[in-house]
C-alpha cells in the first residue's frame, strides 16, 4: 500500500462516509492484482465495482426546464456481484413474480454440499453447481411424484444458489422456495401438502446425497473435472474413491423451515435472497492499517452480530471466491414453474384453485419509473424548485482507465 493509499484510508475513516466495497478495490485492488495471477473474470468484477457510479463509466447531466438546476448522474456497472447494482434488478425480478404466486402455503428448504467438496468445487464451479441444481431437482421431483409422500404429482419450485457464509468463506448451498402442493399427472387436480410438513429432511438428505455423488462420479469418469494445485491428489482414482467413501459416511445437511404465513411473505423472502451478493456495503465498517472490518452473524452463538477484521488480501480473496462463472444462472425454476411451461400450468392451477389472478406478461419499467415505484421519489421532478422537469442535457462519455495491468489466467 502506498503512502497516498494510507492517507486516503484514514480520510475515509474520519469522514462521514459510508465505506463501500468499491473503496477497498480503489485503495488496494491494483496492488492485489500485481501480487498474484488472477482469472480475467475476477479482474472484471473488481474493475466494475470500483468504477460503478463514477465518471469512469460515463453518465449524463440533467437540467431543470424551469430553474436551470443541474444534476450529474453516473452510470451503474450492472455487474451482478456489485452491492450497489442489485436493487433495481431485484425489484424488476420480484415484480415479474407477483402474478406467479399461488394461494397456498410455501416451504423453504436448503440443500448444502459438505465442506469436504469445497476445494474441488472452487476449481470446477460450473460442473459442481450444475450437479447441485440437477441433484436437488431430481430429489424433489422424486419425492413429489411418489404417492407414499402424500402428494403424487408434479411439483414446482425456485432454487437460488448461494456460495458464502457470513464470514465470506465458501459455503455452497441452494435455497428452494416450494409451493405446498402438486398438480396431478392428468392436470385436473391440485393436491395440497400438509400444513406444516412437506417431506422428511432426513429422507431428502439421503436421496440427495446419493444422486449428487452418483453424478459426481460420472463427471470424474468422463474427465469433466480438473484438479489443479492442492486438489491434485484427487485426480488419482484411489484418493477420489476415498473422498467418495467419506462423503457417503457423512450426514448431508438439508434444512426446512415451516411454511410462510402468506404469499406476500414469499416475495419478501425472495427479495432478501435472490439478488444478494457475498457482502453488502452496510456491513463494511472500516478500512484502516491494511485491514477491513465488517459485521457478521455468528450462527454458533445465537446469531449474535459480531465484528470481524481481516487483512485486505484475505478479505479480497474471500470475496473473489464467490465470483460466478460467466453468464451462469444462479436462479432457476423447475417443474410447473419452469419457464417453458409455467404459463400453461399456472393458468390451470389458478383455475383449479378458483383464483381470479391470471399469469401476466413480464412487467417492463425504465429505471426512473421503477425508482418512483420503489421509493415514491420522482426523478423527473426538479429537487430544487419542485416545479420543473429534469431533462437530459449532456451525455458524459466513459473515461478510459488502465488500472489493474496484471498477468491474467483464463476464466474457468
Q: pLDDT (tens digit, 9 = 90+) per residue, 18-30?
A: 899 999 999 999 9
Do you know the residue count of the chain?
412
pLDDT average, residue stretch 275-282 = 89
pLDDT average, residue stretch 103-123 = 94
Closest C-alpha among 397, 395, 383, 298 to residue 61: 395
Higher pLDDT, 300 or 48: 48
Q: What is the pTM of this model?
A: 0.88
Mean pLDDT of the chain: 88
Within the chain, what is the greatest distance between any pair of CA atoms?
A: 77
Domain boundaries, given as residue ranges, for the chain = 3-80+376-409, 103-278+323-352
Give yes or no for a contact between 314 and 320, defined as CB atoms under 8 angstroms apart.
no
Question: Does the pLDDT of residue 412 top 70, yes or no?
Answer: no
Question: Does the pLDDT of residue 190 top 80, yes or no?
Answer: yes
CA distance 270 to 267: 5
CA distance 78 to 52: 8
Whole-number pLDDT of residue 352: 92
- Which residue matches cell numbers 415514491? 376
Instruction: Read off the pLDDT band of 9 (50, 70, 90).
Output: low
Handedness of CA 28, 34, 37, 43 (dihedral sign): positive
Three-state secondary structure string covering 305-371? EEEEEEEHHHHHHHHHCCCCCCCCCCEEEEECCCCCCHHHHHHHHHHHCCCCCCCCCCCCCCHHHHH
Least reliable range by pLDDT among 186-190, 253-257, 275-279, 324-328: 275-279
Question: Does the pLDDT of residue 252 top 80, yes or no?
Answer: yes
Whole-number pLDDT of residue 407: 42
pLDDT (tens digit, 9 = 90+) per residue, 59-80?
Answer: 999 999 999 999 999 999 999 9
pLDDT average, residue stretch 120-149 = 96
Helix (H, G, I), strand (E, B) or coil at 105: coil
- Sheet strands side by side (includes 106-112): 254-257, 106-112, 170-179, 156-164, 331-335
CA distance 132 to 209: 10
Helix (H, G, I), strand (E, B) or coil at 121: helix
pLDDT (tens digit, 9 = 90+) per residue, 357-376?
Answer: 554 455 566 667 766 666 67
Whole-number pLDDT of residue 364: 63
Handedness of CA 302, 267, 167, 76 (dihedral sign): negative
pLDDT (tens digit, 9 = 90+) per residue, 259-272?
Answer: 776 767 777 777 77
Long-range (24+ apart) CB contacts under 8 A made by 86-92 are 86/275, 86/276, 86/277, 87/374, 88/367, 88/370, 88/371, 89/275, 90/271, 90/274, 90/275, 91/370, 91/373, 91/374, 92/363, 92/365, 92/370
Closest C-alpha among 316, 292, 407 to residue 25: 316
Range list of H helices, 200-296: 201-221, 237-249, 263-273
Whole-number pLDDT of residue 361: 55
Whole-number pLDDT of residue 98: 77
Instruction: Read off the pLDDT band of 399 (50, 70, 90).
Output: confident
Instruction: Read off the pLDDT band of 152 (50, 70, 90).
Output: very high
Whole-number pLDDT of residue 16: 57
Instruction: Read off the pLDDT band of 119 (50, 70, 90).
Output: very high
Phi-psi region of 62 (alpha: psi -120 to 50; beta: other; left: phi over 0): beta
Give yes or no for a contact between 177 and 158, defined as CB atoms under 8 angstroms apart.
yes
Whole-number pLDDT of residue 411: 42
Give yes or no for a contact between 294 and 98, defined as CB atoms under 8 angstroms apart.
no
CA distance 70 to 62: 6
Whole-number pLDDT of residue 373: 66
pLDDT average, residue stretch 215-239 = 97
CA distance 165 to 281: 16
Query: Pairing mode, if any, of strands 106-112 and 304-311?
Result: unpaired
Whole-number pLDDT of residue 90: 75
Instruction: Read off the pLDDT band of 354 (50, 70, 90).
Output: confident
Percent of the chain scoring above 90 in pLDDT: 70
Whole-number pLDDT of residue 401: 64
β-strand partners of 296:
306
Amino acid at each position: 500500500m502506498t503512502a497516498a493509499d494510507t492517507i486516503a484510508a484514514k480520510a475515509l475513516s474520519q469522514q462521514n462516509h459510508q465505506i463501500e466495497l468499491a473503496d477497498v478495490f480503489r485503495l488496494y485492488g491494483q496492488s492485489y492484482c500485481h501480487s498474484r495471477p488472477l482469472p480475467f473474470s475476477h479482474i472484471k468484477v473488481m474493475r466494475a465495482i470500483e468504477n460503478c457510479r463514477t465518471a469512469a463509466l460515463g453518465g449524463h447531466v440533467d437540467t431543470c426546464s424551469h430553474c436551470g438546476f443541474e444534476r450529474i448522474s453516473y452510470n451503474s456497472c450492472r455487474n451482478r456481484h456489485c452491492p450497489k447494482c442489485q436493487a433495481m434488478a431485484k425489484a424488476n425480478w420480484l415484480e415479474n413474480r407477483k402474478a406467479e404466486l399461488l394461494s397456498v402455503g410455501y416451504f423453504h428448504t436448503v440443500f448444502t454440499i459438505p465442506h469436504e467438496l469445497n476445494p474441488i468445487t472452487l476449481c470446477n464451479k460450473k460442473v459442481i453447481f450444475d450437479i447441485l441444481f440437477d441433484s436437488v431437482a431430481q430429489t424433489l421431483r422424486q419425492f413429489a411424484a411418489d404417492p407414499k409422500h402424500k402428494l403424487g404429482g408434479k411439483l414446482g419450485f425456485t432454487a437460488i444458489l448461494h456460495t458464502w457464509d457470513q464470514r465470506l468463506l465458501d459455503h455452497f448451498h441452494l435455497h428452494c422456495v416450494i409451493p405446498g402442493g402438486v398438480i396431478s399427472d392428468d392436470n385436473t387436480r391440485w393436491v395440497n401438502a400438509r400444513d406444516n410438513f412437506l417431506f422428511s429432511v432426513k429422507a431428502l438428505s439421503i436421496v440427495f446425497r446419493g444422486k449428487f455423488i452418483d453424478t459426481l462420479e460420472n463427471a470424474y469418469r468422463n474427465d469433466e473435472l480438473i484438479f489443479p494445485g492442492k486438489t491434485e491428489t484427487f485426480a488419482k482414482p484411489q484418493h477420489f474413491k476415498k473422498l467418495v467413501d467419506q462423503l457417503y459416511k457423512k450426514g448431508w445437511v438439508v434444512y426446512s423451515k415451516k411454511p410462510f404465513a402468506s404469499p406476500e411473505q414469499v416475495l419478501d423472502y425472495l427479495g432478501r435472497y435472490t439478488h444478494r451478493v457475498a457482502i453488502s456495503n452496510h456491513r463494511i465498517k472500516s478500512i484502516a492499517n491494511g485491514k477491513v472490518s465488517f459485521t457478521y452473524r455468528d450462527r454458533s452463538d445465537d446469531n449474535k452480530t459480531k465484528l470481524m477484521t481481516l487483512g485486505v488480501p484475505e478479505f479480497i480473496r474471500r470475496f473473489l471466491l464467490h465470483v460466478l462463472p460467466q453468464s451462469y444462472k444462479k436462479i432457476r425454476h423447475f417443474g410447473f414453474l419452469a419457464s417453458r411451461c409455467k404459463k400453461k400450468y399456472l393458468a390451470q392451477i389458478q383455475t383449479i384453485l378458483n383464483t381470479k389472478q391470471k399469469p401476466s406478461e413480464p412487467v417492463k419499467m425504465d429505471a426512473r419509473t421503477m425508482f418512483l415505484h420503489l421509493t415514491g421519489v420522482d426523478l423527473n421532478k426538479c429537487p430544487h424548485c419542485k416545479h420543473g422537469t429534469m431533462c437530459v442535457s449532456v451525455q458524459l462519455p466513459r473515461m478510459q482507465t488502465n488500472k489493474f495491468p496484471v498477468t491474467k489466467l483464463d476464466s474457468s
